[in-house]
């Protein structure tokens, strides 16, 4: 047998490894898209979140907790939320320049504390949101 010829087994194994790698890449791309879609649903309120005005026990009606109510359009009382306003260093509310990542967004949503440790105004509700929800919202806001 020619020693330089690849055994069929090795060829099959290499093809299998390549197929698994392609599948992994496709899965990762799919999950990223799914995350963004979930983030958009949370942002627009199609997937409701439990939220409260800081210090209040009673949750807000789901429709009042939608991010778009306060962060979109001419009536917006909060800043536009996108890659530029969140991921780039910016002086916010008199604090030193700071930027968000998914964890910082999570903290802001749950506790109202920004990346420079400044408290946001009470008009920004506090949310019950899990890590997955924060990641999804972050992925969506980054894509805008």
Interface residue list for ligand HEC (CB under 6 A): 49, 65-67, 69-71, 77-79, 81, 85, 92-93, 105, 108-109, 114, 120-121, 123-125, 127, 137
Query: Which residue number, 36 or 66, has a Cβ lying nearer to ligand HEC?
Result: 66
* Distance in Å, CB of 116 to ligand HEC, minimum: 9
| Block residue for tokens 């009536």 | 75
Query: Which residue number, 4 or 54, has a Cβ lying nearer to ligand HEC?
Result: 54
Between strands 50-52 and 126-128, the pairing is antiparallel
Provide the 8-state DSSP code for 114: -
Query: Which residue number, 12 or 131, has a Cβ lying nearer to ligand HEC?
Result: 131
Reduce the secondary structure of 45-88 to three states and give it as a string.
CCCCCEEECCCCCCCCCHHHHCHHHHHCCCCCCCCCCCHHHHHC
* Distance in Å, CB of 55 to ligand HEC, minimum: 15
Give the 3-state secondary structure of residue 20: helix
* Distance in Å, CB of 37 to ligand HEC, minimum: 16
């Amino acid at each position: 047998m020619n020693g330089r010829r690849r055994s069929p087994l090795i060829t099959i194994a290499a093809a299998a490894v390549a197929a698994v790698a392609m599948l992994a890449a496709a899965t990762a791309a799919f999950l990223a898209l799914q995350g963004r879609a979930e983030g958009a649903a949370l942002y627009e309120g199609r997937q409701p979140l439990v939220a409260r005005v800081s210090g209040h026990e009673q949750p807000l009606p789901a429709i009042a907790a939608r991010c778009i109510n306060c962060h979109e359009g001419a009536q917006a009382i909060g800043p536009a939320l996108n890659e530029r306003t969140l991921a780039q260093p910016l002086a916010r509310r008199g604090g030193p320049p700071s930027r968000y990542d998914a964890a910082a967004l999570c903290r802001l949503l749950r506790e109202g504390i920004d990346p420079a440790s400044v408290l946001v105004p009470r008009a920004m509700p506090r949310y019950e949101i899990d890590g997955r929800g924060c990641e999804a919202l972050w992925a969506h806001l980054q894509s805008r």
